[in-house]
């Protein structure tokens, strides 16, 4: 990729643009803002600002409300680079899930999000919006959308959407010596012991997150 002239882009914008191009070349799909931030060791807020400026300067295109849809303009003109391997699937958004104290998850559909099938695999999926900060050490932030594969079972260490009575929560599953715990990824919160609870069930396993753009 030819790095644009300095009078066209700032150094920061050029780095973000090259990161996007390199990521697409390696993976076949575009990165999320979170992944760009991790690669460049900058904040997601900085990434959002650079993406907005790159879009205004017509170096990239983005589709609102969809994950992994950053496109680089071909020769930085009007035509975006085509990605023949990209296959977007619709995932229903079913409400809000707690990442802190469990809250009720409304099963009424609240829109849809487009996700690259190669990033989530096969299965039946739904998305829930995270509220709270109990999973921040796993990179799951307040306001993120989590994509959940519907399944009644999970393995030790999986991050799952679980139902306790009528409350849904997002936690890491711990299975140890017959004890079943739901572990937060934030030291401010305590594990939830569901070993002997008849009202506990697994809704599904988290397969990816979608950061708020």
Distance between CA atoms of 125 and 147, rounded to whole angstroms? Answer: 7
Question: Tell me, what DSSP letter sits at residue 189?
Answer: S
CB 145 within 8 A of CB 129: yes
Annotated catalytic residue within 134, 166, 190, 205? 134
Question: How far is it, in rounded angstroms, from Cα 132 to Cα 29?
Answer: 29
Q: Does the annotation count 211 as an active-site position?
A: no
Only one residue has tokens 């990033």, namely 119
Grouping H, G, I as helix, E, B as strand and the rest as coil, residue 208 is strand
Task: Out of 30, 34, 171, 211, pick the active-site residue.
Answer: 171
In what helix (H) or strand (E) does residue 131 lie, and over which residues does it extend? strand 125-131
Q: What single-letter DSSP state applies at residue 137?
A: G
- The maximal CA–CA distance of the chain, rounded, in angstroms, is 65
134 catalytically annotated: yes
Question: Are 94 and 150 within 8 A, CB to CB?
Answer: no
Token pair listed for 27? 């993976």
* Packed helices 44-56 and 11-27: angle between N→C axes, nearest 10 degrees: 90
Catalytic residues: 134, 171
């Amino acid at each position: 990729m030819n790095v644009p002239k300095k009078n066209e882009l700032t150094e920061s914008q050029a780095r973000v643009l090259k990161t996007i191009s390199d990521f697409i070349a390696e993976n076949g799909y575009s990165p999320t803002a979170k992944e760009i931030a991790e690669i460049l060791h900058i904040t997601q807020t900085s990434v959002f600002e650079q993406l907005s400026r790159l879009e205004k300067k017509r170096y990239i295109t983005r589709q609102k409300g969809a994950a992994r849809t950053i496109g680089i303009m071909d020769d930085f003109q009007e035509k975006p680079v085509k990605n023949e391997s990209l296959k977007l699937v619709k995932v229903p958004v079913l409400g809000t899930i707690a990442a802190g104290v469990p809250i009720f998850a409304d099963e009424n559909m609240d829109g849809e999000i487009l996700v690259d099938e190669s990033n989530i695999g096969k299965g039946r999926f739904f998305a829930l919006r995270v509220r709270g900060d109990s999973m921040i050490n796993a990179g799951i932030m307040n306001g993120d959308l989590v994509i959940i594969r519907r399944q009644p079972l999970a393995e030790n260490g999986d991050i799952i959407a679980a139902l306790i009575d009528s409350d849904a929560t997002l936690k890491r599953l711990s299975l140890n010596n017959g004890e079943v715990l739901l572990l937060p990824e934030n030291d401010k919160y305590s594990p939830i012991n569901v070993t002997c609870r008849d009202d506990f069930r697994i809704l599904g396993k988290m397969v990816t997150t979608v950061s708020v753009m």
